Amino acid sequence: MRRQVSANLQLDVTAPALLVLQLAVATHPAQERLTLTTADGLLPVREVVGPHGSRVHVVEAPVGPLVVQYSATVDGALPVPDGGEADRLVHMRPSRYCPSDRLLATAAAEFGHLTDPAAVVAAVRAWVARRLVYVRGASRPTDDAVDTLLQGEGVCRDYAHLVTALLRARNIPARVAAVYAPGLTPMDFHAVAEAYTGGTWQAVDATGLAPRGAMLRVATGRDTSDTAFVSVHGGLADLTGVTVDAVADVLPPDDGTGLVPLS
């Protein structure tokens, strides 16, 4: 399968800032380009490889308009990152947006009768899909999984947080991945959960908005605080425009059930 992805960000930097970008496909593809352009030309950028192969690009941005452009072509599947048992233990703990300790009673009441981890994963996905309504703009950036459950609506990040928190509450390692998602409508960055079951990490997407088999990993973490596509530190910058595109020469069928790893 060949997948082509791109992202274009426009920012207005009003005070010199350190920008942290997570736009690049997690594993270096054969064809890739990243440029950061100001009124005075191209900016230098350095790459830092984080946990799970996430590639972070760091840049000192001067005052003025900044355009960030990324594109990549990926042929075939990419490896699924596995940090071993220590990493899996990290992803069994509560985190900022996935407070699994506050959902222990809910998870036990709804899924406590299930003993097979794969069955728990399937049941959590289906339950979240039924409980939530996908509404663009319905949630705040500070909403966590409990807020989402109470509100009953949200976007992909909210679905991923709730799935992840409920799985952790049933002692299944779970994490969040930011992805490019061919077939997604409307096109944007996308977030899904991943569960460790059957000896590997499997994608869980309760939104059902795109086939998991065509997704490309960008960043992986405890929740979306670890996977933001742009973060601003030590300065001021406004995001004024975002355009994302992701296409695949084949969109595999996916009814949301079954075990599908991100590639």
87-108 pLDDT per residue, tens: 999 999 999 999 999 999 999 9
What structural domains and CATH numbers belong to the chain? 2-76+230-246 (2.60.40.2250), 84-224 (3.10.620.30)
User: How many Å apart are CA 5 and CA 70, to the nearest integer?
Assistant: 8
pLDDT at res. 80: 76
pLDDT at res. 83: 84
pLDDT at res. 19: 96
pLDDT at res. 30: 74
pLDDT at res. 149: 98
Q: What angle do CA 80, 145, 127 make, to 5 degrees?
A: 75
CA 186 to chain centre: 16
User: How many Å apart are CA 62 and CA 12, to the nearest integer?
Assistant: 10
CA-CA-CA-CA torsion sign (78, 161, 209, 32): negative
Q: Which residue has the tokens 């900044």?
A: 66
Q: Say if CB 212 and CB 190 are below 8 A apart.
A: no
* DSSP reduced 3-state for 137: coil
> Token pair of 184, please?
């997604």
Q: What are phi and psi of 120, to 5 degrees?
A: -65, -45
- Closest to 4 (Cα-Cα) out of 217, 252, 216, 189: 216
Q: What share of the chain is helix, strand, coil (3-state, %, to 5)?
A: 25, 40, 40
pLDDT at res. 86: 92
User: How many Å apart are CA 39 and CA 221, to the nearest integer?
Assistant: 34
Q: Say how many CA atoms lie within 13 Å of 258 toward its Cβ.
A: 10
pLDDT tens, the chain, 263 aa long: 999 999 999 999 999 999 999 999 998 777 999 999 999 999 999 999 887 888 999 999 999 999 999 999 999 877 777 889 999 999 999 999 999 999 999 999 999 999 999 999 999 999 999 999 999 988 999 999 999 999 999 999 999 999 999 999 999 999 999 999 999 999 999 999 999 998 999 999 999 999 999 999 999 999 999 999 999 998 999 999 999 999 999 999 999 998 899 87
Neighbours of 170 (CB within 10 A): 23
pLDDT at res. 239: 96
CA 241 to chain centre: 19
pTM of the model: 0.95
User: How many Å apart are CA 214 and CA 189, to the nearest integer?
Assistant: 14
